[in-house]
Each structure stands twice: as structure tokens, then as C-alpha cells.
Amino acid sequence: MDTGAAILVLVLSATPGFEARYAIPLAINTLGFTPVEAFALGLVGNLIPVVALLVLLEPVSDYLSCHVPFFNRFFTWLFDRTRRHSERFERWGALALIPFVAVPLPVTGAWTACAAAFVFGIRFRYALPTIFAGMVIAALATTLGVTTLQALIPLMGGMT
């Protein structure tokens, strides 16, 4: 395994918007990793910022709210607005984060799930395992999708 390429996959997997859903196909198709290696690197890279975000979002927002009036107004507005519309999260709790991360749509993923967990007051011990479960599902779906396409393309005569 090429160390530089592995670091690239880890970094891209940790990047918001890119995450494992794009790093895994890159690792398999361009960088030559096996599906198992790509899956593992994508998942680990995606997990690193999740832990940091879940631990740091609240203390950073508390600090900013206390020291910068703009942030105090912003976070007050944000919490008032989102918690009024929190029926799904109240009904499903942290479990709502699993499909939110697992479904690869724009503005979904681990980074956004961390923000949702913070805004809706889902504690770390509940948020981390549910976000991780969604990441595993998304990484598996991506890896299986890439390997399935690789197997089907030769059967269809290749792509030109």
C-alpha cells in the first residue's frame, strides 16, 4: 500500500462534502487500492473529524457566544428555530442520524450529522455510534457499487 496515496484517501475522506463516498471510488479506480483497503481507509478518514466535531462543537459555540455578540445572537436564533422543528429528532432521537449519513445525497453525511446532533442536543454517546453506523452503511454501499460496476462494465463490452 502506497503511504502517500493512503494519506490522500484519509484526508479526502475527512473533508466535508467529499467524505468516504467519493474517496472510496477514487481509491479503487484511480489509486489502485483493493475494495477492502479503500473501505477501511475511507471509513477511518471519515471518522476522524466526527469525533473532533462532536467533542468540540458545543464548547466552541459556548465560547463564541460568550465573547462575540454576533455569535450569541446567531446561536440563539439557530437553537430557537431548529428546536421548534425537531419532531423527527424528538421521535427517533439519535437513530434519525443513521439514514441521514447513510443516504449519499448533497448536504448529508457525517459532517452535517455532527452539526444536527449538536443543534438538536444529541449527546456524544448516542451521536457517535449512530453516525458511525450510517458511515458504515454509506461506505459499504459505495464500495459495493464501485465493485459491481467494475464487474459489469467488461460484461457490457466496456465503455467507450
Place of cell 467494475: 150
pLDDT at position 69: 85
pLDDT at position 104: 75
pLDDT at position 36: 97
Contacts of 118 (CB under 8 A, 6+ apart): 53, 54, 57, 58, 61
Q: What are the C-alpha distances in Å from 29 to residues 35, 38, 87, 159?
A: 10, 10, 41, 14
Regions of the chain where pLDDT drops below 70: 81, 83-91, 156-160
Please name which of 22, 27, 37, 28 lies closest in space to residue 5, comparing C-alpha atoms.
27
pLDDT at position 37: 97
